[in-house]
Amino acid sequence: MADAFEHEEESVAGLRASMASGGLTSRALTESYLARIEAIDPHLHSVLEVNPDALQMADEMDESRRAGIDRGRLHGIPVLLKDNIDTADRMRTTAGSLALGEVTPTRDAFLVERLRGAGAVILGKTNLSEWANFRSERSTSGWSARGGQCRNPFAPERSPCGSSSGSGVAVSANLCAVAIGTETDGSIICPSSINGVVGIKPTLGLVSRSGVVPVAHSQDTAGPMARTVPDAAALLSVLAGIDERDPATSDARVEPDYQALVDPDGLRGARIGAARNLAGFNDRVDRLFDEALDAMRALGAEIVDPADVPHTDELDDPEYEVLLYEFKTDIHAYLATLGSSQSPRTLADLIAFNREHAAEEMPFFGQEIFEKSVEKGPLTEPAYLQALATCRRLARGEGLDAALAEHRLDAIVAPSNQPAWLIDHANGDHYVGGESTPAAIAGYPNLTVPMGFAFDVPIGISFMGKPWTEGTLVRLASAFEHATRLRRSPPASARG
């Protein structure tokens, strides 16, 4: 167990300023995070592997700085990546599965190209709920065959949520400056909020998915996870961009600088809707939500309460149908890019691998989602097309769009999560409440920021808005964060 960490809670801006002044080098910073991972992470299981080239990358960033070359807004900053994001280096990309353990991608994901271009030091790969939590209906979030059980840094017996578990835990425990997660439904928002950090689930198409192990193209996205809204906004400014390999990005409306939209007075005059139908699952969480709404009123916001999102209880079944269909198609397309004779080629190959390695891959839960997905046909089938149309109608036009328009809202807010539940390998996750589904299905932006603590574990509040309004959400959430300052580091006692 490490003692006080010299860069505890330090921001990206603060680290960059220290490096610019000569008081800190990227090598020294990277060494500090690597030592922190070695000391702390054996208790948390959030980092699957560190990059063997991290220190070399840091040295290159220091040389560039000495030469007067600024590589970008992440120059010399160590970043961790979820282990479903391709890196063409000496690390692996496995989605937490042993089935991809011998395969190395031949090309960086587009977002990794963006990170390298901005001067980031790729520090390593984080643990995740295996296959982004899309293998079993009785899975345990944060568990993968490759990495074991990731643990919540505030209460190690409790869930870190998923699927971007390792990224959320690593950021919260100060094992990196910032990290990247991915989401299909809740996989950025839940592990961010439940580990007490900020997460941004962008509009579908703002961040490229090329080189990211997929679940479903109609909902998948990558996004930033950080300790503060300004850090998340800085990272989003790097990640966002048009990529010819991902057609969803072709119409992206990208702000040139999301961090410039951070505003301590950003809630003044805003109209915020309280989605009470996405709350009500826990009395203590509801009290925190009421306090958050009061804080926003005090900051000059007009609160419309309630401003419920219609049809949220009708989304689960059509969403699941869509995901089952798209996963089969999308995973086949991804596997075809690996180009290795050792790589599985189909979903049926993955199912067979898991059966052959059941002791390692399925000690706690099975693969019934895989087995349901493999039976699905092509994306031209009426069952898929009808489910997709239903999802879009209920989540967009008759859902978030209707609520935002009816009340003339800048954003809708709701509690992000329940208190972290006990890890239970026998029964799987005990999920009772959260708000991620409408924005995830609609493909709309969602930003979670710490809202307080219930039973000594973090609770977040989510800001949801229209497509391409990440800048608005950054402005609103940054004002709330600046006034409340509810983020705190995990206690050393809980980290081991």
Return per-residue pLDDT of the chain as tens, 496 residues. 345 899 999 999 999 999 999 999 999 999 999 999 999 999 999 999 999 999 999 999 999 999 999 999 999 999 999 999 999 999 999 999 999 998 889 999 999 999 999 999 999 999 999 999 999 999 999 999 999 999 999 999 999 999 999 999 999 999 999 999 999 999 999 999 999 999 999 999 999 999 999 999 999 999 999 999 999 999 999 999 999 999 999 999 999 999 999 999 999 999 999 999 999 999 999 999 999 999 999 999 999 999 999 999 999 999 999 999 999 999 999 999 997 777 899 999 999 999 999 999 999 999 999 999 999 999 999 999 999 999 999 999 999 999 999 999 999 999 999 999 999 999 999 999 999 999 999 999 999 999 999 999 999 999 999 999 999 999 999 999 999 999 999 998 776 6
The candidate with the shortest Cα–Cα distance to 275, out of 411, 117, 180, is 411
CATH number of the domain at 439, please: 3.90.1300.10
Residue 496 is assigned to a structural domain of this protein = no
Say what the pLDDT of residue 402 is: 98
Residue 138 CA to residue 485 CA, distance in Å, equals 36
Strand partners, 273: 304, 412
Say what the pLDDT of residue 104 is: 85
Residues with catalytic function = 82, 163, 187
The candidate with the shortest Cα–Cα distance to 64, out of 14, 110, 118, is 118
Question: Domain count of the chain?
Answer: 1
Residue 144 is assigned to a structural domain of this protein = yes
- Residues in Cβ contact with 27 at an 8 Å cutoff, skipping those fewer than 6 apart: 55, 58, 59, 62
**Residue 81 domain boundaries:** 12-484
Residue 490 is assigned to a structural domain of this protein = no
Residue 494 is assigned to a structural domain of this protein = no
Say what the pLDDT of residue 341 is: 72
Say what the pLDDT of residue 279 is: 98
Residue 337 is assigned to a structural domain of this protein = yes
- Provide the residue type at 361 as one letter: E
Residue 262 CA to residue 478 CA, distance in Å, equals 6
Residue 493 is assigned to a structural domain of this protein = no
Find where tokens 């895989």 sit.
370
